[in-house]
Structure 1
Amino acid sequence: MSERITTAQGREIAYHLTPGAGPAVVFLGGFRSDMSGTKALHLEAWARSAGRAFLRFDYSGHGESGGVFEDGTIGDWAEDASAALDLVEGPAVLVGSSMGGWISCLLGRDRPGKVAGLVTIAAAPDFTEDGYWAGFDAAQRAALEREGVVHVPSDYGAPYPITARLIAEGRRRLVLRSPLRFGCPVRMLQGTADTAVSTETALRLLDHAEAPDIRLTLVKGADHRFSAPAELALIERSVIDVLDLI
């Protein structure tokens, strides 16, 4: 059973913390995903076998945490992630998947003393602006202004409700329009068959970010889930690579 904390903003966050040696590894999930996904559970099993501290959690409005998904924004979920990060002792290695990659960039930039390394998986920086808003036609933009929400088809089930607040607040959290500097090693993983996040996005983040040691690995044929056995093994190796540099 998950444990729970209440953030400074009053949101209830569910989490699982595996005790072990530091630096801890913290998994940040994607948009509308939860902490029981394949990648999070694989890393938890690896951490347990390695005696490594590991944390997985749900943003508000996701999974087992409190709140309503439609009420949330990138900034809210970044605050949730920052509160979760304080559950582990000392600096941590963040593993951010999709939206979690964006949020890990925010934490790596804004909390350098707490972030010892970054591993991103199909990172989706600025997706509210460059993905949803840029892809909306005139009718969708008008509906967003009129109704405050539009529903966008998803490959993962029911359509996603995209709110005007999510788009507007996301503009305050963009990371590709201003300097993005990390004082830690960074490993980025990206599949070439990903239809949600393009290879061009990964290359743009690689070109834009600054770090003492930053590398991008492209995996031919891998999709956005990045959860095949060979891909999970690559995530694990990337985490170990970063830990070895700390």
Structure 2
Amino acid sequence: MTEPTTQTAAANQEPAFIEVGEGDHKRRIAVRARAARGPGSPGLVWLGGFKSDMQGTKALALDAWAAEHGRSSVRFDYSGHGESSGDFADGTIGRWLEESVAVFTQFCRGPQVLIGSSMGGWMALLLAREIARRGEGQASLAGLVLIAPAPDFTEELMWKGFSPEIRAEIETKGLWLRPSDYGDGSPYPITRALIEEGRNHLLLGSKIDVGCPVRILQGAQDPDVPWKHAFALVHRLPAEDVVLTMIQDGDHRLSRPQDIARIIAAVAEI
């Protein structure tokens, strides 16, 4: 029964900080990196969701599992999230991708499993594409584990679902305050920049070749990312070594003990 102690240690670990961007766009990104105990199995890289941070249930459970099994583990907060600097309202998909690339480049060595939750699933796919573009580096991809992945969510799950009134408010005022059922329940800004810049990173309109195994876990009762969205993603991925697990009673968080056990099993399989 070592996991609770290990998980507490993971929660109490102090972050390191790196700077990303130049001039007025410079921000301090909080990172928690755990080294592997010797060479061997792939490391874990956690990519969190929209308005989430690296101290969430799934991130801590995966970090504790990595520590228990001697694997390296890297998790971080996007700018405007958690312990990183910056205003959430300044965030865009491209900005957060730049931070993801910087963290991967500076902290990862050898084969890695990218684990992306919700928006982090989109980030993992974009990061995988960026790694492939850059060619040989000190780190490579062993696989992707995507939890309720939300590629293209700014367009498919936000903009296309917004009423004409909400769209007009975003276009004229530059943002709309969206009610939230998560965190402290405070509404949060959906900005015109988030929507418009997100269009530079859309993936679902063409084939997505990540060059590694992919495991997707999706809750059938997810109110935020419908299960049909996961099917749309699967159709864009290569046919070989892509497995979609549908959790019939699962919600968007997939943070119950049985959900976390399935996530860890998917990571261990890779």
- TM-based fold match above 0.5: yes
Shift of 1:8: 4.2
Is contact 1:15–1:56 with CA below 8 Å preserved after alignment?
A: yes
| 1:104 alignment partner in structure 2 | 124
Aligned pair partner of 2:264 in 212, 232, 236: 236
Q: Does 1:93 align with 2:113?
A: yes
- SS at 1:14's partner residue? strand
| 2:17 alignment partner in structure 1 | 4
Partners of 1:118 and 1:7 lie apart in 2 by 24
| 2:215 alignment partner in structure 1 | 187
Q: Does 1:60 align with 2:60?
A: no
Is contact 1:180–1:208 with CA below 8 Å preserved after alignment?
A: yes
| 2:4 alignment partner in structure 1 | none
Q: Does 1:226 align with 2:254?
A: yes
Aligned pair partner of 1:153 in 163, 175, 179: 179
Q: Which runs of 4+ in 1 moved over 3 A?
A: none
- Matching residue's letter, 2:116: G
| 2:42 alignment partner in structure 1 | 23
TM-score by length of 1: 0.95
Is contact 1:183–1:212 with CA below 8 Å preserved after alignment?
A: no
- Superposed CA RMSD in Å reads 1.2
Look at both structures and tell me which one has the larger radius of gyration over its CA atoms: 2
| 1:174 alignment partner in structure 2 | 202
Identical amino acids, percent of aligned pairs: 50
Shift of 1:91: 3.1
| 1:39 alignment partner in structure 2 | 58
- Matching residue's letter, 2:208: L
- SS at 1:12's partner residue? strand
Aligned pair partner of 2:241 in 205, 210, 213: 213
Shift of 1:137: 1.2
Partners of 1:212 and 1:77 lie apart in 2 by 29
Partners of 1:138 and 1:196 lie apart in 2 by 20
Residue segments in structure 2 that go unaligned for 5+ positions in a row: 1-13
TM-score by length of 2: 0.87
Once the two structures are superposed, residues 31-56 of structure 1 have per-residue CA deviations (whole angstroms, 9 ceiling, x without a partner) of: 01000000000001000000000011
- Matching residue's letter, 2:119: M
83-92 vs 96-105, greater mean Cα deviation = 83-92
Is contact 1:184–1:211 with CA below 8 Å preserved after alignment?
A: no
- SS at 2:179's partner residue? strand
| 2:8 alignment partner in structure 1 | none
- Matching residue's letter, 2:243: R
Q: Does 1:127 align with 2:176?
A: no
Shift of 1:135: 1.3
Q: Would you say how many aligned residue pairs link Structure 1 and Structure 2? A: 242
